[in-house]
């Protein structure tokens, strides 16, 4: 069982949902269209790389990309959640990396196959420490960024999300059902790119979280 710590509370991780192409400029760089409803894929809990651990590169991919994302932890079960109640389901926030075997994903896309391997391999769900939800006053105004070896590669703000955090929570609650311990990777801004062995990667959530890892 994988667990996360939010303040004094330990939470067992349930499902890991991820939203694809949820910033317009990233959809453009991927040659994808912005959809009318959010596109989801999932990662198994074995994909998690907890705080402090290095980011592993799988031997079977020649091009692993970083995607920095705000990650939401769900604190209670819910179905058909109302928009005005959505934010009350959030227990905490982290900054995460949706690591992606881009070459494998491209092959799978071309063949019309699911992305599970490219997006869900062991080591693909990098997670920082979580901060309690109360520390974020407005989830529609969170800065996020990613540096590789001290150079800024990605910079964004959740105000530019196509489907905002509350909207995503409502959607998941309607279609899948929310479970305490669910994590949602909310999408990456533009600037995704490859990481290599030995790189130092720093992800930031505003001034609240700074998370630095080595790529091994």
Would you tell me which residues interact with Mg ion (CB under 5 A)? Answer: 67, 98, 188
DSSP code, position 207: T
> 67 or 182: whose CB is closer to Mg ion?
67
Select 78 or 104, whichever has its Cβ closest to Mg ion: 104
Rounded CA separation 183/18 (Å)? 8
**Minimum Å distance from CB 7 to Mg ion?**
27
76 secondary structure, DSSP code: S
Question: Least CB distance from residue 185 to Mg ion, whole Å?
Answer: 6
Q: How far is the CB of 182 from Mg ion (least distance, A)?
A: 16
* Pick 132 or 164: Cβ nearer Mg ion: 164
* Signed CA dihedral, 213, 214, 215, 216: sign only: negative
User: Considering the complex, what minimum distance in angstroms separates the CB of residue 85 from Mg ion?
Assistant: 26
Q: How far is the CB of 173 from Mg ion (least distance, A)?
A: 21
**98 or 211, CB closer to Mg ion?**
98
What tokens does 166 get?
Answer: 């509350």
Give the nearer residue to Mg ion in terms of CB position, either 136 or 144.
Answer: 144
What's 85's DSSP letter?
A: G
CA–CA separation, 30 and 130 (whole Å): 29
If the CB atoms of residues 98 and 182 are measured against Mg ion, the closer one turns out to be 98
194 SS3 class: strand
Taking the complex as a whole, the smallest distance from the CB of residue 87 to Mg ion amounts, in Å, to 22
Residue 115 Cα to chain centre, angstroms: 15
The residue number whose beta carbon is nearest to Mg ion equals: 98
DSSP of 105-162, one letter per residue? HHHHHHHT---HHHHHSTT-EEE--BEEGGG-S-TTS-EEEEEETTEEEEEEEGGGBS
CA 157 and chain centroid, separation: 14
Backbone angles phi, psi at 118, to 5 degrees: -65, -30
């Amino acid at each position: 069982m994988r667990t996360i710590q939010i303040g004094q509370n330990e939470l067992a991780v349930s499902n890991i949902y991820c939203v694809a192409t949820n910033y317009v400029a990233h959809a453009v760089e991927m040659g994808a269209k912005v959809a009318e409803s959010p596109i989801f894929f999932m990662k198994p809990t074995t994909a998690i790389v907890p705080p402090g651990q290095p980011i592993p590169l799988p031997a079977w991919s020649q091009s692993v990309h970083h995607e920095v994302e705000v990650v939401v932890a769900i604190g209670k079960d819910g179905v058909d959640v109302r928009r005005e109640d959505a934010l009350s389901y959030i227990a905490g926030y982290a900054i995460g990396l949706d690591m992606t075997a881009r070459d494998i994903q491209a092959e799978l896309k071309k063949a019309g196959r699911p992305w599970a391997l490219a997006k869900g391999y062991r080591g693909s769900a990098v997670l920082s420490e979580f901060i309690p939800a109360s520390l974020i006053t407005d989830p529609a105004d969170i800065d996020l960024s990613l540096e590789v070896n001290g150079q800024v590669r990605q910079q964004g703000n959740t105000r530019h999300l196509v489907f905002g955090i509350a909207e995503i929570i409502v959607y998941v609650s309607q279609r899948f059902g929310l479970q305490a311990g669910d994590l949602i990777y909310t999408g990456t801004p533009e600037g995704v790119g490859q990481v290599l062995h030995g790189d130092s990667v720093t992800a930031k959530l505003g001034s609240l979280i700074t998370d630095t890892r080595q790529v091994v």
